[in-house]
Amino acid sequence: MILHKQFADGCRINRKSISSTLATALIMGIFVGLVIIGLVFAYVIPSPAGSQGFTGITLTQVLLYGGNASVDSLTQPCSGDSQLDITLLNNSTSTITMTNITLYGGSLPKNSTVLVPVSNGCLPVAQSDPPIASESSTQLTLYPAADFPLFPPRDCIAEIQFSDGQNFSGIGLVPGPLENQ
């Protein structure tokens, strides 16, 4: 009878440990389920545009083509060979404007403003504020107000400012393809 009682006590201990293990497994299963549901909501179900992640301007490409400067004018179009091509992505739900660009360094004897074509004219970016539409990609062709060596412009840096307060500084300009120069 003593052996039978010891065997019975051992079974009770095992039953207690089994029920404890089941309770722990149930709690862990619920936790893992909640994590998976959270991941599904975060990555699979789309959120309203602009409400998730970075909401601002992303520069995707900045190319500088060498050549002659364009001239600031209210009556003449931008006519210089030197161009600055910028491709931007506006991740926000509102239109953002570019408020200023300054080029410096490299072969430039002084800082240079950048001009943007407007109807029958060529004005500095600071006077014309080119818009970047909401939730879209935009390519701007701008014209430096300084001469750049033709083959290829090197060590030039840009500082770009936007109406939402974003500022990009120290952007190394990549020379554009030679076949376009």
| Under-50 pLDDT residues of the chain | 49-51, 178-181
Provide CATH code, domain 57-176: 2.60.40.1890
Residue 181: predicted pLDDT: 43
Structure tokens at 58: 């992303």
Q: At 159, which helix (H) or strand (E)?
A: strand 156-162
Residue 35: predicted pLDDT: 84
Residue 150: predicted pLDDT: 56
Residue 108: predicted pLDDT: 73
Give the type of residue at 126.
Answer: A
Three-state SS annotation for 51-77:
CCCCCCEEEEEEEEECECCCCCECCCC
Residue 80: predicted pLDDT: 85
pTM for the structure as a whole? 0.64
